[in-house]
Copies of this chain bind each other. A is one copy, B any other.
Amino acid sequence: MSRSRMKLGAFLMAGGHHIAAWRHPDAYAQAGSDIDHFIALAQIAERGKFDMIFIEDAAAIRERDPELASQAARSTAFEPLSLLAAIAVNTSHVGLVATASTSYTEPYGLARSFAALDQLSGGRAGWNLVTSASELEAENFAASGLRSHSQRYERAEEFADAALALWDGVEDGAYLLSNGEAFADRSRLHPVHRHGKHFSVDGILESPRSPQGRPIMVQAGASDVGKDLAARTADVVFTASQTKAEAQAYYADVRARLGKYGRGHGDLKVMPGISPIIGATEEEAKAKYRALQDLIPDAVGVALLASYLSIEDLSAYPLDGPLPEMPPTNLIQSRQQLIIDLGKREGLSIRELARHFAGARGHWQVVGTPIQIADAMEERFADGAADGFNVMAPLFPSGLEDFVTLVVPELQRRGIFREEYEGTTLRTNLGVAQPGKS
């Protein structure tokens, strides 16, 4: 049953996911600092019965080069947990997933903030755990610079375990919330005592257990250690795959790791990104795509490609030649490999790769009619490449509105997406087991 219906996330971003969205004539220029805009997007997603909205994050500006920053930045005023708290009280069913880093916060503080979001949303919070590979973020927090990939994941493992222990330290009914003689039932409070290499936590959350047990754990790590962390702790994995074969390989790989942590296949939902460009006809969709692509300056596309490859600069190489050979990065290894593979497989030049990746920022791009987009999604869903998708509209609100109005009814008609929410918590709608309930 849960296999027969796909899960959907709406990956929100201020102006849109297309790199040049903010330059489009239909763009809403004030998007990044208008809370009403974000609330409206969440309500569109909820109207479309999406499982969740998803908010990315980096605690820094996104681009060091002033010239590129002025062309490629996607400024938003809203730290994700604050943003989702404001959205929570204006929605009732859609899940609320905030990205937050394990590198620049402490487990007690972050666990507490997510417990607050979970409580005030009635059990709809999710945490997309990231380790922050950006040097610009490191500079905002530490004189010692960016930690290595392995150091970041070591810290993330310890962080996740501490957060889970804190949430699970409060049983249902531990805080009695009655006008009686006792305020808490101490037998249901289990103080955490964790003294690790990175953190020391000796205490307990002063917050009732969430209606969904604890927040949903989401991850997007695609390195070996990242996939293991996901298999051990995550309920949802967000990934980037270009081809169906890549998506199937990732899907099989991450599910194969579940067994060693005592988990079953249903315990983890794999949700790759999809960037749909929707037209009434295929020609209209292609024209929409071209209009967006034409707004990308080569300098921005190539700089973005270089940053995805984690190399300083590509300008020394001919734009119409192939990628140079390069050593494995300390940063996001999976993304680097994905680009190198695509360039070799399809013989793409630097300029072509830049355009290709800049548009959907590395994600699966589908351009077509609602039927064509539903076909593409159903194929990957049916063929063991995905349990659902994180939908990355190129432009907000129109791209999400089009998806909800045109594609969702088509998925529902095929019986592969819900007509109504199964419940009011994110966990119920995702169909993953609630910890602490038998």
CA distance A104 to B23 in the complex (A): 40
Copies of this chain, tallied across the complex: 2
Q: Which residues 1-50 in A have Cβ within 8 Å of B in the complex?
A: 22-25, 27, 29-30, 32-33, 35, 39
CA distance A39 to B206 in the complex (A): 20
Shortest distance between the CB of A382 and any CB in chain B (Å): 40
Contact of A104 with B109 at beta-carbon distance under 8 Å, contacts A62-B206, A140-B201 already known: yes
Shortest distance between the CB of A187 and any CB in chain B (Å): 10
Q: Which of A77, A203, A204 has the most CB of B within 10 A?
A: A77
Q: Which residues 166-187 in A have Cβ within 8 Å of B in the complex?
A: 175, 177-186
Contact of A77 with B119 at beta-carbon distance under 8 Å, contacts A61-B204, A179-B29, A202-B139 already known: yes
Is there an interface contact between A77 and B207, defined as CB atoms closer than 8 Å? yes
Is there an interface contact between B22 and A71, defined as CB atoms closer than 8 Å? no
**Residues of chain B with a CB closer than 8 A to A25's CB:** 179
**Residues of chain B with a CB closer than 8 A to A202's CB:** 139-140
Contact residue among B90, B112, B177 (Cβ-Cβ distance under 8 Å from A29) = B177
Chain A 71-90 interface mask (CB, 8 Å, partner B; 1/0): 11101111101110110111
Is there an interface contact between A208 and B75, defined as CB atoms closer than 8 Å? yes
Is there an interface contact between B143 and A200, defined as CB atoms closer than 8 Å? yes
CA distance A120 to B83 in the complex (A): 8
CA distance A179 to B395 in the complex (A): 13
The answer to whether A249 has its CB under 8 Å from any CB of chain B is no
Contact residue among B32, B72, B178 (Cβ-Cβ distance under 8 Å from A177) = B32
**Residues of chain B with a CB closer than 8 A to A72's CB:** 183
Is there an interface contact between A70 and B206, defined as CB atoms closer than 8 Å? no
Is there an interface contact between B203 and A70, defined as CB atoms closer than 8 Å? no
Contact residue among B33, B139, B186, B200 (Cβ-Cβ distance under 8 Å from A70) = B186
The contact sample of 27 A-B pairs, CB cut-off 8 A, is: A22-B183, A27-B179, A29-B177, A32-B177, A33-B119, A33-B207, A33-B208, A35-B119, A39-B89, A59-B108, A60-B203, A75-B207, A78-B207, A82-B82, A82-B85, A82-B113, A83-B85, A85-B85, A86-B86, A89-B89, A106-B141, A108-B141, A109-B141, A139-B200, A141-B200, A141-B201, A142-B200
Closest 10 CB pairs of A and B: A143-B200, A85-B85, A77-B119, A139-B202, A82-B116, A108-B140, A35-B120, A77-B207, A140-B203, A79-B116
Q: Which residues of A approach B to under 8 Å, CB–CB?
A: 22-25, 27, 29-30, 32-33, 35, 39, 59-62, 66, 69-73, 75-79, 81-83, 85-86, 88-90, 104-106, 108-109, 112-113, 115-117, 119-120, 136, 139-143, 175, 177-186, 195, 200-204, 206-208
